[in-house]
Amino acid sequence: MVRSHGILLLIIRTLAIIHIVQAQSQQGFISLDCGLPANEPSPYKEESTGLQFSSDATFIQSGKTGRIHPTLASRFLKPYTTLRYFPDGTRNCYNLRVEKGRNHLIRARFLYGNYDGLDNNPTFDLYLGPNPWATIDLHKLVNGTREEIIHIPTSNKLQVCLVKTGPTTPVISTLEVRPMGNDSYSTQTGSLNLFFRLYLSESKTTLRYPDDVYDRQWTAYFWREWTQITTTSNVGNANDYEPPKAALATAAIPTNASEPLTLEWSNTDKPDDQYYLYRHFAEIQDLRSNETREFNMVWNGELMSSDPLVPDELEITTILSLTPRTCAKGECSFQLKRTNRSTLPPLLNAFEVYTVIQFPQSETNENEVVAIRNIEATYGLSRINWQGDPCVPSQLMWDALNCSHVDISTPPRITSLNLSSSGLTGNIAAAIQNLTLLEKLDLSNNNLTGEVPEFLGNMKLLLVINLSGNDLNGSIPQSLQRKGLVLSLEGNPRLFPSGSPEKTHKKTLLVPIVASVGSVAILIAALVLYLVLRKKRQPTVEVVLPPPSRPTVNVTNANSPEPSIETKKRRFTYSEVIKMTNNFERVVGEGGFGVVCHGTVNGEQVAVKLLSQSSTQGYKEFKAEVDLLLRVHHTNLVSLVGYCDEGDHLALIYEFVPNGDLRQHLTGKGGRSVVNWGIRLRIAVEAALGLEYLHIGCTPPMVHRDVKTTNILLDEHYKAKLADFGLSRSFPVGGESHVSTVVAGTPGYLDPEYYHTGRLGEKSDVYSFGIVLLEMITNQPVIDRNRRNSHITQWVGSELKGGDIAKIMDPNLHGDYDSRSAWRALELAMSCADPTSARRPTMSHVVIELKECLVSENSRRNTSRRTDSLSSTEVSMTFDSGMIPRAR
């Protein structure tokens, strides 16, 4: 039965996965005992868990230490008996190093414990970077509370901030960060806020590390109308979620075998919350030949899947929602109902529920944060409110700054810096030049010495500079004598105008640029002549999108408009190219650039791409491809063996990729085999990984600009490798997410937003990749003028209205595919090909989604399984555990 693409379930069965975080290892863990006194050892081992806790002193620059009341200390583990409190400042922040783009569990615990003897439980806000995370109200939660999220940081730095909102003082007991696997807990948008995490057992033991390799905390939960079943056998828990084996060794079944197993909860304070559910099942009873356990899952009275579940014997099955779910008026009900053919009641071993939490506000431009921190360090500034993000939220903006805010998705930029009368000494900090959008700079009335730096004049957006009242010396740079700049220098007796050492400026200087009318006329005439001649030399092309003008191929002479390639590494002579190709004996491909010949270098097969004299690909593209491929290395990018740049002879020598391009393996042309759905998904994952590397793994980041099926090559094992980087361009990081460039690319794959605006960014590649995905799914031409809907996105959009995936999928697959993965891949492709770039996912998100599609397809093909040994330990906790469902 084909289901609506809006209702998707992924069944993740046991996978043979080598996990990043192995059992018993705390690699990457951050475990901070907040307020640990300086005279106590750090780090130390917490006995019941074996976790290594450290003092938080080096992670925060403010706050004071305290200890909960002695009468309460015996109720809590050691890390929770101390705390840090913040009587000064509005926002106080922890600064943590994390791995950008990787899932992390972030958990903070708060316990007042009457540390100050005032018996006044505080209320305050918790922030993650510039975004609100939670309100901590210890008036209501007198036994303490925890906040926990699963979150993917967008940089290598993470800030957890406590924000004072009233008369009471914020406190924190522990702060913990756990890196997790990236193939789990993915969301369409936002992060996951823990609602509850249970294992169904009559035990009173709370499970966490070392039972749980990620140190998730599992609360034992049971209901009187249930019956507990257990096993002493080893239960395999090896999948992307890997809950504790001890949690899977117990399960609940309804005592009345004909009744459903039901969990209900109410969240009327937040009725619009969205939920992600993670259900962990394992058959732990030894069933007889005539016994069957089969059941359906029901959410708020509606069947969640048309396929009933039969749990695997002593092996984990994890079922999750790929899209978030909601509850009417905040009243939620989850049920397991046995089918008519089942002889046994349903069972449930463990259950996780998360709500979606959005962190939409972008952090301040990363380069500018580094710059302002360097300025702070240069001058030894110590300001209580210089914590957290410099610009956002606006009510907590650092003093001395003004910032620009375009929208919440765009990183703010610093536009004004006022450090007047701040006791500054030494030279003007070089880091100021990295505040590239700075409009106003006030360093007046300090004790600055040295010369006025040239870079101030090169900051073209800087309109006001106040350096008065310092002890600067030397000449004023010529670059500061420009029209429109307000420059204040009075009170610097040793500072002189450029070329006039005898005069001192004592007033604000307005320095215009003076140019003769005759000079301007000559410049204008020269410019007009250049443009006319350049237009005459422009080549005419028949495609809708004209490529940029190109220099002649022979550009190695001194008057060449393009510099020759600087590096001499892997450079071959033309005679060596002739020899390696046996005088160009075997042609294996041909395109607008010229021909590709087979060759050998040191016994290894290579492909030699020869640039012909009539090629539309000029030296600029040739140089771009060489420069890029000489500095990037990734298993899913075609490797450059070398190049030839000798007079008129230009050639690129690549590794030989014998299986042709992806397009051939979709159509079967050229005698190529048509690849199945599982291989297509793997190829898509590998191509996405190559693009992700270009976008976030390169410095500076790169945009491919010509992603298409003919530029995805396949090796002998059908491993995907991106090729043809002649149009690739670097793009800025931080606040500017695009560059302006002449539009180039292949019609049909070209980002319409880029085509209309000329603004290039990484999302342009995402669009092209979405088109590639649609080709892989449908095997339809990207543009077909004979179709009513000529572009592939239009055709798919019209077919989607029918809701039948079979009419969209490539008929060459003959229905041999997992419909869940097909729907998910299709939704992802259409999301990538959204006409508005802001609504497209990043390549990192694309990789995550495609990996889960591949897992779903592989599950259908009975992926291998593995088991691990059982380990267990008991942990005592008395914190309020938050929401617990009702059961019946």
Instruction: Name the token pair of 779.
Output: 């095997």
Instruction: Name the token pair of 882.
Output: 């938050």
How many CB atoms sit inside 10 A of residue 114's CB? 15
Rounded to whole angstroms, how far apart are CA atoms 694 and 494?
A: 51
Instruction: Name the token pair of 748.
Output: 């049909």
Instruction: Name the token pair of 524.
Output: 């204008």
Rounded to whole angstroms, how far apart are CA atoms 678 and 40?
A: 56
Cβ-proximal residues to 765 (8 Å cutoff; 6+ apart), any chain: 691, 694, 695, 703, 704, 705, 707, 843
| DSSP assignment string, 86-106 | --SSSEEEEEEE--TTS-EEE
Determine the distance from the C-alpha atom of residue 475 to the mean position of all C-alpha atoms in its chain, rounded to a whole number. Answer: 48
Q: In what order do the strands lie in the sheet with 131-137?
A: 91-97, 157-164, 123-128, 131-137
Q: Residue 312 is which amino acid? A: D
Q: How many CA atoms lie within 13 A of 755 on its CB side?
A: 15
How many CB atoms sit inside 10 A of residue 669's CB? 11
Straight-line distance from the first to the last Cα atom of the chain, in angstroms, rounded to the nearest whole number: 32
Q: How many CA atoms lie within 13 A of 758 on its CB side?
A: 6
Rounded to whole angstroms, how far apart are CA atoms 376 and 159?
A: 18
| Of 400, 446, 440, residue with least CA distance to 426 | 446
**Residue tagged 């249970």 (tokens):** 198
As annotated, the binding site for ATP includes: 609
Task: Characterize the bridge pairing of strands 413-418 and 401-404.
Answer: antiparallel
Three-state DSSP state, 847: helix
Rounded to whole angstroms, how far apart are CA atoms 331 and 268?
A: 7
Written in H, E and C, the secondary structure of 223-255 is CCCEEEEECCCCCECCCCCCCCHHHHCEEEEEC
| Of 514, 519, 431, 513, residue with least CA distance to 480 | 513
Instruction: Name the token pair of 145.
Output: 């509370």
Determine the distance from the C-alpha atom of residue 646 to the mean position of all C-alpha atoms in its chain, rounded to a whole number. Answer: 42
Instruction: Name the token pair of 453.
Output: 């730096």
Neighbour-count burial for 323-338, b at 16+ CB within 10 Å, e otherwise: ebbebeeeebbbbbbb
Q: Residue 695 is which amino acid? A: H
Determine the distance from the C-alpha atom of residue 263 to the mean position of all C-alpha atoms in its chain, rounded to a whole number. Answer: 34
The answer to whether 880 touches 193, Cβ cutoff 8 Å, is no
As annotated, the binding site includes: 609
| DSSP assignment string, 406-424 | S-TTS--EEEEEE-TTS--
Enzyme catalytic residues: 706
| Of 708, 646, 712, residue with least CA distance to 675 | 712
Q: What is the DSSP letter of 260?
A: P
The answer to whether 550 touches 541, Cβ cutoff 8 Å, is no
Q: How far is CA 309 from CA 11, 160, 324, in A?
A: 9, 41, 20
Q: Torsion-angle region of residue 324: left (phi > 0), alpha (psi -120 to 50) or beta?
A: beta
Instruction: Name the token pair of 641.
Output: 């063996």
Q: Where are the alpha helices (DSSP H) in 258-417?
A: 366-379
